[in-house]
Amino acid sequence: MAELNYREAVAHGIAQEMRRDPLLVMLGEDIADAGGVFKTTVGLLDEFGPERVRDTPISEQAIIGAAAGAAMTGIPTIAEIMFSDFIAVCFDMIANEVAKARYMTGGQISVPMVIRTANGGGSRFGAQHSQSVENWCMMIPGLKVVAPSTPVDVIGLMAASIRDPDPVVFFEHKSLFATKGEIPDGEIVDTLGTAAVVRQGTDCTIVALALMVPRALEAADRLAEDGISAEVIDVRTLVPLDTETLLGSVAKTGRLYTVEENPRLCGWGAEITSIVAEEVFWDLDGPIVRITTPHVPLPSAEALEDLAIPSADRVYDTVVKSMG
């Protein structure tokens, strides 16, 4: 058992899979000599060499195009887009080529490709470098979408993503890079499409993703002091979505709160809300409540960014107010 922080877990998970599969390669800006702008690939160049850990020009289209071509010819590939905001630059390739290749070739071509990217706010990087864009990718048929909240989940879900024959967009949250966790010895492999109940409860269900998970847990601790037992679910993967766990929890507690860092309009919580309303409406004891970032460009000013992104205080206050 060892303790690693979230950024170290990224390198650990990639190294585990590169040792396992000698064909696996990684492409991205500053991932080799520099060890990544967020230091998530430190040591990989030294162990695996420049043929497998390749620095690229500053061109998201070149990174995705090269990685997609390699994957389609049978070379499993990890492509890093430094900031998730710049998925927009290469979104045509991701949405219209990578996501659709298996379908449009009748299954003759698979795309074993993981697109890693740093997501989310909290670092004062401003509106062009702080967005949570997981819902952009969630809406595209053919893409799987992963967003871990803990170091051990980073490793296990990274392994599952790399071993999947289809393209996966893997969101690493910038504000979680310094967080630490215990890592078991040996190989760690998780399963895509499984949510985690990270706190048991009976009075309400709080569903969260990535950075919002520790904030939801903090709020749940405070709610417990007020006699409200909150169950907290870490969604972990948006596609495939673990509806069984989500619906089972809401049916038990009778109340649902989603805690979303993405902007409110068309956020991932809206889809979960829709599913819950369709499947377990008669088990609800009150209206579903979404706690989100407002539909605005994210500010870079410290006070304004903190005000926009859901906090543990906002989660706590919202639950207390809505439950009376």
170 in the same domain as 34: yes
pLDDT in tens, 215-253: 999 999 999 999 999 999 999 999 999 999 999 999 999
Residue 80 lies in a domain: yes
165 in the same domain as 21: yes
pLDDT in tens, 204-225: 999 999 999 999 999 999 999 9
Tell me: pLDDT of 310 over 90.
Answer: yes
47 in the same domain as 162: yes
Residue 177 lies in a domain: yes
Q: Which amino acid is at 277?
A: A
CA 100 to CA 65: how far, in whole Å?
A: 14
Assess whether the previous peptide bond of 112 is cis (omega < 30° from 0): no
250 in the same domain as 139: no
Question: Which own/partner pairs from 164-167 qualify as long-range (CB within 8 Å, at least 24 positions apart)?
Answer: 164/112, 164/192, 165/110, 165/111, 165/112, 166/102, 166/110, 166/111, 166/112, 166/142, 167/71, 167/94, 167/98, 167/99, 167/111, 167/113, 167/114, 167/115, 167/142, 167/143
Task: Tell me the average pLDDT across 70-83.
Answer: 98
CA 290 to CA 268: how far, in whole Å?
A: 10
DSSP states of 139-153: TSTT-EEE---SHHH
User: Angle of helix 151-163 relative to helix 6-20, nearest 10 degrees?
Assistant: 30
107 in the same domain as 15: yes
State the pLDDT at residue 324: 80
User: Looking at 183, 208, 226, which one is the last position of a domain?
Assistant: 183
Asked if 273 contacts 230 with a C-beta cutoff of 8 angstroms, the reply is no
Q: What is the average pLDDT score of the chain? A: 97
State the pLDDT at residue 34: 97
173 in the same domain as 210: no
CA 25 to CA 40: how far, in whole Å?
A: 16
State the pLDDT at residue 275: 98
Instruction: Using DSSP, state whether 226 is helix, strand or coil.
Output: coil
Q: How many CB atoms lie within 10 A of CB 243?
A: 14
pLDDT in tens, 140-175: 999 999 999 999 999 999 999 999 999 999 999 999
168 in the same domain as 22: yes
The one-character DSSP state at 94 is I
160 in the same domain as 31: yes
149 in the same domain as 11: yes
Q: How many CB atoms lie within 10 A of CB 269?
A: 26
Contacts of 149 (CB under 8 A, 6+ apart): 173, 176, 208, 209, 210, 211, 213, 214, 234, 236
Residue 203 lies in a domain: yes
User: Looking at 148, 183, 218, which one is the last position of a domain?
Assistant: 183
Residue 188 lies in a domain: no
Q: What residues are annotated to the active site?
A: 129
Residue 191 lies in a domain: no
Burial class (CB in 10 A: 0-12, 13-18, 19+), 3: exposed
**Tokens of residue 16, six digits:** 């585990």
State percent of the chain over pLDDT 70: 100
* Total domains present in the chain: 2
Residue 151 lies in a domain: yes
User: Looking at 183, 213, 229, which one is the last position of a domain?
Assistant: 183
Task: Tell me the average pLDDT across 71-81.
Answer: 98
Strand partners, 199: 232
| pLDDT-based confidence at residue 32 (cuts at 50, 70, 90) | very high
Asked if 55 contacts 31 with a C-beta cutoff of 8 angstroms, the reply is yes
Q: What is the CATH number of the domain that holds 119?
A: 3.40.50.970
State the pLDDT at residue 1: 80
80 in the same domain as 114: yes
Strands 180-183, 2-5: pairing kind:
antiparallel
Sheet (strand 25-28) strand order:
53-55, 25-28, 77-83, 113-119, 168-173, 144-146, 237-239
Q: Which structural domain range is residue 19 located in?
A: 2-183
174 in the same domain as 89: yes
Residue 139 lies in a domain: yes
Q: What is the CATH number of the domain that holds 244?
A: 3.40.50.920
213 in the same domain as 114: no
Residue 283 lies in a domain: yes
